[in-house]
Amino acid sequence: SAVISQKPSRDICQRGTSLTIQCQVDSQVTMMFWYRQQPGQSLTLIATANQGSEATYESGFVIDKFPISRPNLTFSTLTVSNMSPEDSSIYLCSVGLAATGELFFGEGSRLTVL
């Protein structure tokens, strides 16, 4: 298993600003993912955070809006840039066990953009 810590757990932000969310894992993992859960909707994969290379973004998500860092095998950050109220969501970090396909999730970071 894996224990994941996310910071901040919640924040209220002003339109036009940027916020960086941190994700720390208690063990080295190859695969880290960032998901978004908008109010009343399902989880949507934003990108895969790759160690040592650029993140791989899903359709509809771009690096300029959601830059991601992955400096090592236990840590990643997601930045939500130039925020608007539509970015108000819960952002979740997750790591995967390739052997089982199971995902472990952080507690999420709830962002409210005014």
Partner 1 sequence: AQRVTQPEKLLSVFKGAPVELKCNYSYSGSPELFWYVQYSRQRLQLLLRHISRESIKGFTADLNKGETSFHLKKPFAQEEDSAMYYCALSKGGGNKLTFGTGTQLKVEL
Cβ distance to partner 1 smaller for residue 31 or 73? 31
| DSSP characters over 77-93 | EEEE-S--GGG-EEEEE
Residue 53 touching partner 1 (CB under 8 A): no
Pick the piece of the chain touching partner 1 (CB under 8 A) from 8-16, 43-51, 66-74, 77-85.
43-51
Cβ distance to partner 1 smaller for residue 18 or 62? 62
Distances (CA, A) of 96 to 14, 34, 83, 84, 90: 33, 11, 28, 30, 19
Rounded-to-integer distance, Cα 47 and Cα 63, Å: 9
Count the residues of the shown chain that bind partner 1, applying the rule CB under 8 A.
Answer: 21
Question: Residues in the site for partner 1, rule: CB under 8 A?
Answer: 31, 33, 41-45, 48, 92, 96-98, 100-108
